[in-house]
Structure 1
Amino acid sequence: VYEGVPDNVIGTLYAKDLLSCDLADPKTTLRGLLRPAYYAPTTQPINVLLREFQRQKVHMAVVIDEFGGMAGIVTLEDIIEEIVGEIEDEYDRPTSLIKRISNDEAIATGDTSVHDLNRTMDIDLPEDEGVTINGLIQHRLETMAKTGDQVEVGPVTFIVERATDREIASVRVLVDRTPAEAEEPVERG
């Protein structure tokens, strides 16, 4: 929890403390529920931080940069995932997905990054028009995408297969790999 600006961390609020307190009691304050924050520098190795988490009996640290500002937070789960790999739980959203059907066709989620699509399909879509397929298509349409919308970006055709009011859930990606015809040279005489 911070006060005023994110660099001014005043403590950590544990869900179990909040859920077990008497909110009807007028003496209950947010500040009274806070525990001291644990701080770690950006340079601290994760094995040292893991031992500190065990010793201090904490599951989260506020990471401080060289200027004393907050660089972010790191949790026990973050450290464990660095050691053993990604741990998916009930709170993790499914990662973006590209299901390759053939060399020239795929089905992807709208939140798939253009970079990942470029790499997977061996294409070169612009990454400055949208970080995700959703963003690229909306940029080209200049409106929210709807099911059935079709957008061409160079040799790639996107067909929106499923969309909500806010995002593309599924899009078909078709790549035309036929070489573009070279223009006939103009003879001058």
Structure 2
Amino acid sequence: NRAEAVAMVRKHGFNRLPVYDGSTNNIIGVVTLSTWDMMEENVESQKVTDMIEMPLYVSPLETIDQLLPQLHRRDDHMAVVVDEFGSGIGIITMEDIVEEVVGEIDVGYHFEEYYPRRQRTVESLGDGRFLVDSRLSISEANETLGTRIPTAEFHTLGGLLLGRMRHIPKEGEYIVESGLRFTVSEATERAIVKLVVEPDQV
């Protein structure tokens, strides 16, 4: 409830609190309590659910110069970092970025659309094209599809795309690797869900 959120803000000095559903790696929103909010008479009686805002989800491979414009466009100060499976692995704030760039500062108050577990499927679409789950391991893909995708850098196909693109891609984005084209066919704002693997037609 909001009383607990207010107590946490007063105790720890953070005015942005991540909201999770079930487990801490499933961050579904962010609640912001400003100094003005804290001065309201009935601040503790309001529902937290009425204050939840959709967070910005980013890849851990994104650079600061990629992240800053996204935060600026949203007029936001916090992003949720998700791994290749769409699970939350941390948060990053504007204060973190500023401290990294110019050193630690004192600023007073600190600044899974979740999808169910699914089978790692491989579906033939014909003509050498396959629809695959992004969590399929590269070694499994090589064995099933007869491909020779390197396994040294990344474990899954989704991880391969995130590593090459350095951001969470949208549907239709693709990369070319080992003579193959990997196109995102289904994605959420947090993760790649499915992709199409096919020979790259040069």
Length-normalised TM-score, structure 1: 0.42
Higher-Rg structure is: 1
Of the two structures, which has the highest relative contact order with CA contacts closer than 8 Å and spacing of 6 or more? Answer: 2
Length-normalised TM-score, structure 2: 0.40
